[in-house]
Amino acid sequence: MTHRVAFIDHVAVTVSDIDRACRFYIDLLDGAQVFEYAPEGKPLARQIQAGGVMLSVHQVGNGIHPLVADKPTVGAVDICFRWNGPIEDAQAHLARLGIEVIDGPRNNRANGGHAAKSVYFRDLDDNLFEFITID
């Protein structure tokens, strides 16, 4: 059966400092590009895009409604990124960036039921992130 919903297109993250957060995500997503979009001439968000990943980054209190979550909260996101390569490479990448691994590596289950390994870390606003790799 073909599902009409194919995949998640992007995830919106509400942050306390959009410039600082964008720098963090650009480094984290190694080689990411930033796109700013401004409907009606007002900066609404920035999109961070790398490979098949896109984050829409919103400044908390930006006053734009209804184009953001009803109660956007800094630190409320939990996102898992698929890492291409061994989990040790993901750990080394985080170490190079000075990002602390708060848990892992641990055995996990990835989309599709695949055996996987994960490491968990937080961004500058205490959002939880995970790199997961297929065993």
Q: Which two tokens stand for residue 123?
A: 């961004």
- Torsion, CA 124, CA 128, CA 134, CA 135, rounded to 10: 100
Per-residue pLDDT at 14: 87
- What is the C-alpha to C-alpha distance for residues 107 and 98, in angstroms, rounded to an integer? 23
Residue-wise pLDDT for 48-101, tens only, equals 999 888 998 888 876 655 566 667 787 888 999 999 999 999 999 999 999 999
pLDDT band at 37 (very low <50, low <70, confident <90, very high): confident
Which two tokens mark 115?
């055996």
Distance (Å, rounded) from C-alpha 85 to C-alpha 65?
Answer: 40
With CA atoms as reference, report the closest residue to 74 among 38, 36, 124, 8: 124
